[in-house]
Amino acid sequence: GNNDLEDLLNENIQSAPLQTVLDNLDVLEELVILLDPDTRGLKNTKHLASHCSFPSTWITYTYSMKDSKSPLRAVLEALTSRNPDWTVGHLAMLLRQIDRNDAVVVLAKLKPSPHVQLVL
């Protein structure tokens, strides 16, 4: 049904800002390992980026730099700056659209602090 996402991710995680993923290096690292490689038959960071309408030239460039920076990290950074109101739930929905529930499960490890607003 439509509530599978709720089964995988609790409300706190879904409503946490997307930036939470970038701040949580263990989770980010796991997502990178799952999503960056070109694995036969699996959709990856490239598909995620094109779902978010990044131009293919940008995606190719990001992959050409992958030794110094993960393409997934670049995509997430671009998404957070382009859509500051996006949440972890937005990312989870995108991951489901590319059939990567394994990556959604990783998001469940995030421990957002719902009541702490960090003011920098």
Q: What pLDDT sits at residue 8?
A: 82
Q: Which portions of the chain are predicted below pLDDT 50?
A: 1-2
Against a cut of 0.85, is the pTM above it? yes
Q: What pLDDT sits at residue 33?
A: 98
Q: What pLDDT sits at residue 116?
A: 54
Angle at 35 between CA 17 and CA 10, to 5 degrees: 35
- CATH assignment of 11-108, among 1.10.3470, 1.10.533, 1.10.1060, 1.20.1630: 1.10.533
Instruction: Name the nearest CA neighbour of 106 among 26, 52, 40, 45.
Output: 26
Q: What pLDDT sits at residue 5?
A: 76
Q: What pLDDT sits at residue 101?
A: 95
What residues are paired with 35 via a beta bridge?
A: none
Q: Which amino acid is at 110?
A: L
Q: What pLDDT sits at residue 49?
A: 97
Q: What pLDDT sits at residue 7?
A: 81
Q: Any idea where the domains of the chain sit in the sequence?
A: 11-108
